[in-house]
A and B are shown apart, each in its own frame.
Chain A
Amino acid sequence: MPRSIWSRWRWELVAEPLSATELARLTLADRADQLRWSAARLPLAADLEAVPDCRLALRRLREVWMALGDQLEPHSTAPQRRLRQLSAELRPLERAEARIRLLLDLLGPLGAPGGLGAPAWRGREPEALRSLLESARLEEATLREQILSRRLISELEAAATLGAVVDRDRDATEAVQLARVRLPLLFEAASRSGRPLEPSRRRRIQRLLHGLELFSPALARQHQVVLSELASLLAQLGPLREWRELVDWVDRAAKQGPADLRPALRRIVVRAELETEAAQESAEIELSRLDQGGWWRTAALACLPERRRSSRSPDG
Chain B
Amino acid sequence: MAAIDVGSNTVHLLVAAAPEGVHPRPLFRRRAFVQLGLDVAATGSVGPERLELAGRALAAQVQEARRHGARLIAVGATQALRSASNGEEVAEELARRAGVDRLHILSPELEAQLAFDGATLGVTPRAECMVLDIGGASTQVARGPAGGLCRDRSIKVGSGTLLAAVDGDPPTGAEWRGMERLVASRVPRDLDPATGHLVLGTGGTITNLPRLLGKAKGASLRLREVELLLELFRVGPATDLARRSGVDLERVRLCRGGAVILAQLMDLLQLRSVRASERGLRDGMILALLRREEGWWRAEEHLVEVAVGAGG
Interface residues of chain A, those whose CB is within 8 Å of chain B, are 119-120, 122-124, 251, 255, 259-260, 262-264, 266-267, 269-271, 273
Contact = CB atoms under 8 A, between A and B. Distances in A.
Contacts of B234: 255
B181 A260 contact: no
Interface in B252-291: 263-264, 266-270
B224 interface: yes
Interface of B: 173, 177, 180-181, 184, 189, 191, 223-224, 227-228, 230, 234, 263-264, 266-270
Majority SS of interface residues in chain A?
helix
Most-contacted residue by chain A among B228, B234, B263, B269 (CB, 10 A):
B263
A220 B224 CA distance: 65
Nearest to B269: A123
A273 B173 CA distance: 13
Contact of A259 (B177, B180, B191, B228): B228
Contacts of B189: 119-120, 122
In the A-B complex, the 10 residue pairs with the smallest Cβ-Cβ separation, listed nearest first, are: A263-B267, A259-B224, A123-B267, A259-B227, A123-B268, A263-B263, A270-B184, A266-B180, A270-B181, A263-B264
A267 B228 contact: no
Given A119-B189, A120-B189, A122-B189, A263 B181 contact: no
Contacts of A251: 173, 177
A267 B264 contact: yes
Nearest to A258: B224
Contacts of A255: 234
A124 B263 CA distance: 12
Nearest to A119: B189
Contact of B268 (A119, A122, A260): A122
Given A120-B189, A259-B223, A273 B268 contact: no
A269 B177 contact: yes
A202 B2 CA distance: 65
Contacts of B224: 259-260
A255 B177 CA distance: 12
A273 B181 contact: yes
Contacts of B267: 123-124, 263-264
Contacts of A122: 189, 191, 268
B217 to A, nearest CB: 23
Contact of A263 (B173, B177, B191, B266): B266
A262 B229 CA distance: 13
Given A270-B177, A270-B181, 16 more contacts: A119-B189, A120-B189, A122-B189, A123-B264, A123-B268, A123-B270, A251-B177, A260-B223, A262-B227, A263-B267, A266-B180, A266-B264, A267-B184, A269-B177, A269-B180, A270-B180
